[in-house]
Amino acid sequence: MDFAKMIDHTILKADATKEDVKKLCMEAMKYGFHSVCVNSSFVYYCAQLLKDSEVKICTVVGFPLGAMSTDGKVGETLSAIEDGAGEIDMVIHVGMIKSRDWDYVKQDIASVVEAAGDRAIVKVILETCLLTDDEKEYACRICKEAGADFVKTSTGFSTDGATIEDVALLRKTVGPVMGVKASGGIRTLETAQAMVRAGADRLGTSSGIVIVKGSHHD
């Protein structure tokens, strides 16, 4: 299995420097990762570094809490696409899910999907560790109705990351057409393999090199 093409090579920590991001891009080109995933302020920089490569640029929107206003998320999306992003990982509004304001949740996602248009795919980060199974299932259905391309487990900045059970639940709920991205705590080949078996077709990780090297010796 070619894990490299499933990996969004990620650096989202607050103290990531330009040198760190440059290293990420160089590694992504060397190992043939699907994309680099960076905070939106680094998108233009990555676009310059990766302009002659096939590596895509993924960025996060409303990160990491998801509680930014919809207008704020739309603005960040438009700016990132203008700078060169082809994939948008937006954080769902967990507080509105807990409030059971599903109209808000759906409109929030649909607004970002509309802003992205056909210029970028949209993945919705559910932050599964904060949701009940019922909330996860309902959120998945809302994402599908709102036109998102993927559902994603986690930011990696909350109380837990991806679990095999959550990936399986997301895949079962969205069916075969939508993508499922597992992220948060995927640090070994064994974990990556388990996530893929559970239904993930994209992996967000900062340990992509370890995973790919492991797969070559598997």
The first and second tokens of residue 41, run together, are 């302020």
Angle at the Cα of 10 from the Cα atoms of 71 and 21, rounded to 5 degrees: 90
Catalytic residue among 106, 123, 136, 181: 181
Is 152 assigned a catalytic role?
yes
Sign of the Cα torsion 6, 55, 207, 122 reads: negative
Neighbouring-strand partners of residue 150 = 123, 179
Given 83, 89, 149, 166, the catalytic residue: 89
Assess whether 52 carries a catalytic annotation: no
Catalytic residue among 108, 123, 152, 166: 152
Helices (H), 42-188: 43-49, 70-83, 94-98, 102-116, 133-145, 164-174
- Running DSSP on this structure, what letter comes out for residue 155? -
Q: What is the DSSP string of 49-64?
A: HTTTSS-EEEEEESTT
Are the CB atoms for 143 and 106 separated by under 8 Å?
no
Catalytic residue status for 89: yes
Task: Name the β-bridge partners of 205.
Answer: 9
Write out the catalytic residue numbers.
Answer: 89, 152, 181
